[in-house]
Amino acid sequence: MRSVDAWFLPAEGQPEHAQTHVVEEAMISIDVANVGWYTLMWTPTDSAREVLGFTADAGMMAATEDPEVLALAAGFMFTEGLIGGIADIAKMEICASDPSIVNVELVDPGAVEVRRKDVVMGSSCGVCGERESVENLVGDLRPVAQSIQLNHEQFDQLMEAMRELQRVFGMTGGAHAAAVFDRNARILAVAEDLGRHNALDKVIGKCLLTKTPLDGCGVLLSSRMSLEMITKAARAGFELVAAVSAPTSLAIDIGERLGITLCGFVRSGRATIYCHPERVAEIPISG
């Protein structure tokens, strides 16, 4: 976050001049050796200088308990299909001469099926570079498991719990969030970023780095549900995606195909279930 000068115009009274916080927009590049170079616009909410890196033998090497730069890198590689899990990463490290670069070495880079590489992605960008077919995005994905069932009341409880953890949004009003929850409606991890794709990658990466199992989990989103958000959720095996906004038509199509329950407009005690309603306890499902 950054502090900036601003003028506040109240509904009544005189304008006031004061400092306020805005969400930071920065560039991070993930250099995956012998695979590709990926540049993202992101929001650093902790200090990358407190992070050294990660190795398969030593694990995380960081002064902070929440090294989000490593989480973003790991989560992005996972949802991009470059790795199948944390065991596929041999080493990640912050470049000594440029802390905006994360250097990554994979255990077996030759085994990676590269969908896209050497691309620059904006903060709102999901599918970038050359135009790709939907099948190219989802063709290798398999239907998710069937182990979650939530009550209607738990949706709002989960959203409220996520909001309480949105520190950056609370100070700036300009950050998206994603939160992973388990089948008992407990939040396991939360991440924020100016980009909704980054927030989802970060929270998945946090779970990977801490070896938090994703089986039987769902995810909350502060954004709309687009095609690539659902494909990222599917790669993580999330059974239910609940968002404050709406899904797109392709998101519904892929959610239906992969067995994911999509819940939109989750707010103020309401929700709209678009597919696979069997995970919502109050909805009667005929045999």
275 annotated active-site: no
> How distant, in Å, are the alpha carbons of 2, 147, 171, 186, 189 from that of 165?
19, 26, 12, 13, 10
Please report the sign of the dihedral spanned by the C-alpha atoms of residue 197, residue 231, residue 66, residue 182. positive
For residues 167 and 43, give the distance between their C-alpha atoms in angstroms, rounded to a whole number: 13
H helix intervals, the chain:
68-79, 134-138, 152-164, 167-172, 196-209, 227-236, 249-258
Phi and psi, residue 88, nearest 5°: -80, -5
> How distant, in Å, are the alpha carbons of 88, 223, 258 from that of 252?
31, 15, 10
H/E element, 7: strand 2-8
Single out the catalytic residue among 125, 128, 263, 275.
125
For residues 28 and 103, give the distance between their C-alpha atoms in angstroms, rounded to a whole number: 11
Question: Which tokens hold the place of 44?
Answer: 């650093």
- Provide the phi-psi class of 90: left if phi over 0, else alpha when psi is between -120 and 50, else beta: alpha
User: Which residues are the active-site residues?
Assistant: 125
